[in-house]
Amino acid sequence: MRWREQTEKRGYHHGNLREALVAAALDLISSKGPAGFTFAEAARQAGVSAAAPYRHFRDRDTLIADVARRGFDLFAERLAGAWNEGKPSAFEALMRLCRAYLEFAGNEPAYYAAMFEAGLPLESHADCREASERAFNVLRSACDVIAAAIPQGSRPPPMMMALHVWSMSHGVASLFARGDAARRPLPMPPEQLLEAGVMIYLDGLGARRS
């Protein structure tokens, strides 16, 4: 008991305990995946007692949800920067946005895994759900602009376009652009594969002609 009290006291003065736990979770997700570690392991990784994390998180899922929420916030920022309000043209900006999607998956594999592979029910984690919607809405806004240039009679719903482009981006990212051992080999850069797929899709809609 005395050891636990001393460890908890050390944990309380650890610095920013919440940030230390998030950093520990990111390390563990990188090495074991989002489902491969326990709450107690995250505490040990952060150098605190098993009881210390409960000051900030209800359980392991709420810790991972906080990691995922931070990932979605960063993701939304990267996507918005790539879109850059559709400049100099909506098509070029959309290609940048898609590349930014792949770059995020490759450069931030732990965040990406927490966001998309943890199996968290988003309805139970409102902050995480709202952050994920903000990120998706960057793509939805881009598709609003592109769809608006297509003649009314053949204009697809922007939400459908956003879902299609998201599905292609996410599929290529998950299969080929990951930054870990799960990455599959590909005889071309993933960026080229995704760009070709999006171009074919937009050509089929008549978006690039418009």
Domain limits at 103? 64-205
Q: pLDDT band for position 50 (50/70/90)?
A: confident
Q: What is the pTM for the complete model shown?
A: 0.86
How far apart CA 72 and CA 142 sit, in angstroms, is 18
CATH of the domain at 86: 1.10.357.10
Examine the domain organization and report whether 135 and 164 are in the same domain: yes
Q: 145 and 165: one domain?
A: yes
Q: What is the pLDDT of residues 67-101, one digit of tens each?
A: 999 999 999 999 999 999 999 999 999 999 999 99
- Residues 139 and 176 reside in one and the same domain: yes
- As a whole number, the mean pLDDT across the chain is 88
> CB of 117 within 8 A of CB of 34?
yes
Contacts of 74 (CB under 8 A, 6+ apart): 104, 108, 111
Whether the predicted pLDDT of 193 surpasses 60: yes
The per-residue pLDDT for range 132-168, each reduced to its tens digit, is 999 999 999 999 999 998 888 888 999 999 999 999 9
Can you tell me which residue has the tokens 């995250």?
42
Q: Number of folded domains in the chain?
A: 2
Specify if 210 maps to a domain: no
Of 120, 95, 93, 97, which Cα lies nearest the Cα of 34?
Answer: 120
- Looking at residue 12, its pLDDT comes to 45
* Residue 14 lies inside a defined structural domain of this protein: yes
